[in-house]
Amino acid sequence: MQVAKMAAGTATADMATAPVAPPAPPAFERPDFQIVPRAGLPIVAVVLVLLVVGIAVNELWPLVFLHVVGGAAWTIIDLFLGFVLGPVIGRMSPPAKVELTTRLMPKMVLIMPTVVTVTLAAGWQLGTFLGTVQSSYSLHGWIVASYIVVGVMAVIALGLLEPANIAVLTELKKERPNPQRIEKLMKRFIYCAGITGAMQVATLVIMTKLASA
Amino acid sequence: MNASPTPAGDAAAEPHLPPVTQLAMTSLALIVAGGIYLASHIPNSVPLTPAIVLLCASVALLAINLALLARVPDFAWRRFFEVAKWALLAYAIIAGMILYAFLRDSLSGGPLVVLTLSLVVFAVHVPLLIGFTVARYDTPANT
């Protein structure tokens, strides 16, 4: 936001002295980055292979491992981004915000879809293995509630958060990034992370109830 | 790398665009609802009609979205396809993993067809949305 304010402030000051088009705001340092970090792709491939093997083997420990590790990572990242890092980013100076964004967001492009896929696919297989996805299961209502929570989170993450993430990085790659666009997209990203973070609290309630049943 | 931000007034020049994001989110919500409906009745046989209706509505929204987007003048199509093709690859892999889990559980018949088509809508609509969100902020010179 401060980049935008800075730009708007420069324009206002200039308008007071001469009626000319606002000059470009001062340049800021922007680290070089890849929108999709290629170095991370082999790690993603290994994780997906582990997921396929875990589902194919269909034994309790690999499925619990994949579901719990993936789910824990998903929950913690959402909560941390939504309630800790999000508000911190909002108060950062424009150069610091840009530097953090260019270093953090490309990693999120790989981490979040991988973690979500592993959690959901392993979770479904685990539910089938344990019989908890059957409608005869005593806590079936809680299971359906978890589907709904995950469904809402998925729609928000896929429809708003992920496109905003990619769009911010693409904008930052441009020779002349637009601070207003970055600000708008970052706000969308942080609000979405906050909403999914809040929904992760519901996930924690449901999963601990199921685990202790 | 040094970056010069564009003057703040540039954002005001953004063209009027169809509600692609809203339509895509509604479409995704419909297939998610259909998936939850089917999943919540396992292993009982369940009428497929509600799931099929939700899927058809979702496909219709996808078609409307594509049609509306195709009619946008001066859209940055090159940027759109540049982003959407890689997103399509990524989401096809994700959809494939989810489908693999269903097949592993011997899901078959009508529910498998509905869930597979739902995954196809998901794997097409999300890349469309990502490509649109990136391309809408690009210059028409990149078409």
Task: Mark yes or no for CB contact A29/B137 under 8 Å.
Answer: no
Residue B6 lies in a domain: no
Main-chain phi, psi angles of B122, to 5 degrees: -60, -45
Contact between A28 and B5 using a beta-carbon 8 Å cutoff: yes
Is B12 part of a structural domain of the chain? no
Whether A33 contacts A169, CB under 8 Å: yes
Q: Does residue B88 fall inside a structural domain? A: yes
> Is residue B1 situated within a structural domain?
no
Whether B49 is covered by a domain: the verdict is yes
Chain A: residue whose CA lies nearest to B136: A167
Q: CB distance B1–A164 less than 8 Å? A: no
Where in the sequence is the domain holding B46, given as residue range(s)? 19-142
Report pTM: 0.80
Per residue in A54-111, pLDDT tens? 999 999 999 999 999 999 999 899 889 888 888 888 788 888 888 888 888 899 889 9
ipTM for the complex?
0.81
Residue A198 to chain B, least CA–CA distance (Å)? 19
**Considering its fold, how many domains does chain B have in total?**
1
Question: ∠A155-A126-B89 over CA atoms, to 5°?
Answer: 45
Report CB contact under 8 Å: A36, B86. Answer: yes
* Residue in A81, A104, A80, A90 with CA at minimum distance from that of residue A172: A104
pLDDT tens-place string over residues B107-143: 778 888 998 999 999 999 999 999 999 998 887 764 4
